[in-house]
Structure 1
Amino acid sequence: MSNWIKVKLGDIVELKRESYQPKPDEVLPYIGLEHIGQGTLRLISVGKSNEVTSTKSYFSKGDILFGKLRPYFRKVVRPKFNGVCSTDILVLTSKNPRKFNQTFLFYLMASQEMIDLATASSSGTKMPRADWKVLQNLEISIPEDVNEQERIGKILETIDDKIDINIRMNKTLEEMAMTLYKHWFVDFGPFQDGEFVESELGMIPKGWDVREVGEVIDLAYGKALKQSDRKEGDIPVYGSSGIVGYHNESLVSGPGVVVGRKGNVGTVMWVDEDFYPIDTTFYVVTKKGINLFYVYMVLKNKNLSSLGSDSAVPGINRNIVYKQKILIPPEHVLSRFEHYISDFFKKITFNIGENKHLQSVRDYLLPRLLSGEIDVSQAEKQVEEVL
């Protein structure tokens, strides 16, 4: 590692401190910690600046956003747009992009070593926060050649770009599945030539039924699982925002459906594998053999978020959901629908599995590239083979 140099973090990374006061008539993209995936290095969603009130921080496209509250959650992202973020997020950028590559610095800040150092530097017991005054004095090793930094950053970014492509593809597949659902069960496209009858939901094909949600499914409570109680494993832990970590035991056998109960109220997520839903969620238990694909599409189409309360901590009462009326087609219709819809979900499942593998490859390479343990040319070939 003769071409690597030791530097202080504060000599290569700059903390940006430009404040922003939200205005009711101005809407900017807003990122809070709740919008950043835990350990995934990507955004779950994006909020709006006019929906928050306290002082925020500006960030620019390509800046590194590093969650300083409970840094062990590894909430680090690099947005591709300008906006504002929570003051519990450090906004970081290269002090000199010609000497210190920004992409390389992003993966440096997202490395488990940096997360561990930030956690060790945290102050506060219940709400530990990383201290930039401590972090900026950390001594680290980096390649002296900025081109070498760029190559390392590119290797890791290429993997993340493929993950993003799969995520976008899955979103498109979900939209296609929903379009098919609406064509069949909202517009009744394939059934227009048949007889229709009046119902509580309007005119529906004869022989179809209307039931309350509570007649066909139960919404079971997820179970609390503190971060400190999670043991190393590959079982995804689901909160209302999606995967929030992993554990070595499952609570529910997949496939399954998770519904946000607290926080991201009413979010509906399909899970194809065994999983552990925590107490901010419900998980669906079907009755009378009702088709799970159909239940998922029905709940997605119901806009459950509109049923949430307006309390300080938004939540959803399952008894309100149970009273919602839904359409129940005959079994042979549901079987045909499952036949068509399953192809979409097979592809979604494949992409999810590929992303898990890609993320594990990235997280394997990341510390080894940052330490010089793996030759850059060797890593480039390895990524070419994976992709």
Structure 2
Amino acid sequence: MPAKDSFSFTSPLRSLITSGCFCRITTPAQGGADPRSPFSQQLAEAFHSARQAGIAHPLVVGAIPFDTRHPSELFIPQSHQEMTPDQVAGHFKASATGPQPEPVLKVEIPGHDVFTQMVARGASATRQPGIDKVVLSRLIDIRCASAPDSHGVMARLMAQNPGSFNFHVPLSDGGTLLGASPELLVRKTGTLFSSLPLAGTARRNLSDAREDTRAGEALMASAKDRHEHALVVNAMRQQLQPLASCLNVPAAPSLITTPTLWHLASAIDGESTASVLALACLLHPTPALSGFPHQQAMQLIAGLEPFDRGLFGGIVGWCDDQGNGEWAVTIRSARLSGEHIRLFAGAGIVPDSSPESEWRETGAKLGTMLNVLGLN
């Protein structure tokens, strides 16, 4: 049964739970695609020390923040166990303690009017030369009557989102990051890697199958959403080409679903000798989380968003000492700290974005965690 400080990650490739902490890696991941960077050097030294200490096949697990200049939340566990997603869900269900969280206060940051003003300003900026897209986000802060049990929340999250990249990350401050991400940043086994970027979203109509299908078809036909998606895919193609000996990028996106949303997705794959974490650092954050071009989008985000995203919009996953592993984007997620829960959702803003539509889209995305908490 997993300890309270255990990391877990579930996916179709490999699901695992860890135990203990051999050492933490806090160096910022900026420049982590370069083996000479401080981040890569600390990681190599940590893997070496772990092997010297008798950990035969060490992994690094955890989370990297949206802004890679900030400290990482990574560690090498003492041991890990592979299991099926159902087994992971069973472990969390069996180890859950206490009732469902009892919220006593919910605050939106920012509120509706400020957020829609942010979106209007972001859309206006993308109509000017120099920036094509910016991703703007909002938070919900919830205070509960008592500290929520992260294992109970995780058990409900996995029950409601069995097909997602489900993660539970113990943080250095005693808090927990958990979520059910639909978005694979990068996966690597041997020399083969793959990615599934998402950009372009529509709410599903689960009460009417015909209307639900029409919502997906409308998303696929949306010039605004296809443009937003193409910006992401084209940027990722340019970033991956220098490290890929082979790279396959579809000419057009496909549709995928979560329990509540439609998304435009592009299944990218290729071959590379770089580690999965190097590829993750190269790609992160993609224009699906920041915008395009990256630096201009980051400046606009800093000027418009009234908070620091921290780990939200970052990446979460694992990498072994042979460079294999899997990293998902930290969306559809929550951070638990004492009696407090913080939720996050963002939306890509382009010239045709409607402030009210983006408020509704972020609301639909927040619904994943609100459903888990019994608040939607």
Higher Rg:
1
TM-score between both structures, scaled by the size of structure 1: 0.22
TM-score (norm 2): 0.22
Structure with greater helix percent? 1
| Higher relative contact order structure (alpha carbons within 8 Å, sequence separation ≥ 6) | 2
